[in-house]
Amino acid sequence: MSSDLEVLFRGIYSENFFLSFSKGDLTDYLKSRNWFQEEELIDRIEKAGESNMNCVLRVVTNQRSFIIKQARPWVEKYPHIDAPVERNAVETRYIELMQEDIELKTQTPELIGSDPVNFILMINDLGGETYSFLYDHDRRLIREDCKSMMAYISRLHHLKTIDFPENNAMRVLNHEHIFHFPFIRDNGFDLANIQLGLEEVSLIYKRNKVLKQKIEALGKLYLGEGRTLIHGDYYPGSWLNTESGFKVIDPEFSHIGHPEFDLGIMIAHLLMTGHAEEILPAMSRYSGEQKVENELIAGFAGTEILRRLLGVAQLPLKLSLENKKALLDQASDWILSGKIGNE
């Protein structure tokens, strides 16, 4: 993080603790919260993966390893984008709910401590790596992974939840970068810097009025009243591959929403990582209590593909322009037809 952003953070929250790689400062902070065990010493502090939203550190001590993360008033990966610090409270509540479910708690980090004043969470270290390695197309999912992904989201959508934050500010942020910004013709984001020819290809979709109307309608639905708790960002960056199996992290976009959104996001990333053959079997395994509409799943999935290829939140996809054009066409067809494959 740049010194300018540190100054900004301290300026906005002058009395708050600023998470950093300083062993001394972090030790003092953890002791002040009674989050440190007797005679515990920090061996090392390291970045815990490629978090998009938050500052996330892995702390290894002479007794254990844990994760500490802080929500700052911007997106950690894209500091020019403002983000609500209230996402910390949303994640806290989500983890608390998961611990009340006999199955979901085994696939979710355990909450060790929460400091809402400093927007900090402390959770146990599940180890492993996120499934972001799938974007390289060098490694593939095994069938058990796919079953676990669907089992988790099915179970989540079964939960009876009435006490959960609305998370409106995060939904507005997400809405802008999924349903709006990528489809503005002159949005200032030059896709030529991502891949030569991609800007010209993008105009096909940015000029398609019917397609954009469909996406706008999906965006309004996303912002509207939902009917079940959803993860809100159910993609490979939120899935952990660990020695003890499949886990799920980073629920800061969670809210009472539409189960089709989680399903659509998951299916979009199955396609983009080269797992098209797993999509229909995955859909057939869904057993959420809420009845889902395939047209909405197709719409959300298609929109996610479009925004990932044309928007700010780019993925480390190693694809040719022709491959991306094929994905964009497939995504558009899903949105316009309301169907995935020959379902």
pLDDT of amino acid 78: 86
Judge whether residue 11 has pLDDT over 70.
no
From the list 284, 215, 240, the residue with the least C-alpha distance to 109 is 240
> Is 206's pLDDT higher than 70?
yes
Per-residue pLDDT at 79: 86
Checking if the pLDDT of 10 tops 60, the result is: no
Q: What does pLDDT average to over the chain?
A: 92
Q: Can you read off the two tokens belonging to residue 183?
A: 């489809």
pLDDT at position 319 is 94
Provide mean pLDDT across the span 16-40.
90
DSSP summary character for residue 114: E
Dist CA 192 CA 188 (whole Å): 11
pLDDT beyond 50 at 60: yes
SS3 307: helix
The pLDDT tens digits of the residues spanning 193-205 come to 999 999 999 999 9
In single-letter form, the type of residue at position 288 comes to G
Which H/E stretch holds residue 44?
A: strand 42-47
Burial class of residue 172, CB neighbours in 10 A (0-12, 13-18, 19+) = exposed
Percent of the chain with pLDDT over 90: 79
The DSSP secondary-structure symbol of 74 reads B
Please give the pLDDT value at position 50.
76
At 256 the three-state DSSP class reads strand
Label residue 172 by pLDDT band (50, 70, 90): very high
Question: What is the length of the chain?
Answer: 343
pLDDT, tens digit, 9 for 90 and up, residues 232-271: 999 999 999 999 999 999 999 999 999 999 999 999 999 9
The yes-or-no verdict on residue 27 having pLDDT over 90 is: yes
Cα separation of 151 and 288, whole Å? 9
3-state secondary structure of 17: coil
- How confident is the model at residue 138, as a pLDDT? 85
Q: Is the pTM of this model over 0.85?
A: yes
pLDDT score for 98: 95
Question: What is the 3-state composition of the chain as percent helix, strand, coil, each rounded to the nearest 5?
Answer: 45, 15, 40
Predicted confidence at residue 81, as pLDDT, reads: 87
CA-based nearest residue to 238, from 248, 252, 226: 248
> What is the structure's pLDDT at 64?
95
pLDDT at residue 37, as a whole number? 86
pLDDT per residue as tens digits for the range 312-339: 999 999 999 999 999 999 999 999 999 9
Cα torsion 200, 202, 208, 209 to 10°: value is: -120
Cα gap 325→330, rounded to integer Å: 9
Q: Name the region of 80 (left: φ>0; alpha: ψ -120 to 50; beta: rest).
A: alpha
Residues 119-161: tens digit of each pLDDT: 999 999 999 999 999 998 888 998 889 999 999 999 999 998 7
Is the pLDDT at 20 greater than 90, yes or no? no
Residue 58, helix vs strand vs coil:
strand
- What pLDDT is attached to residue 293? 95
CB 237 within 8 A of CB 132: yes
pLDDT of residue 137: 84
Per-residue pLDDT at 113 exceeds 90: yes
122: closest CA among 37, 57, 208, 202? 57
Nearest one of 202, 248, 204, 203 to 229, comparing CA atoms: 248
Domains, the chain, ranges and CATH?
3-124 (3.30.200.20), 129-337 (3.90.1200.10)
* pLDDT band for position 163 (cuts 50, 70, 90): confident
Confidence of residue 8 (pLDDT cuts 50, 70, 90): low
Closest CA to 147 of 321, 282, 328, 310: 282
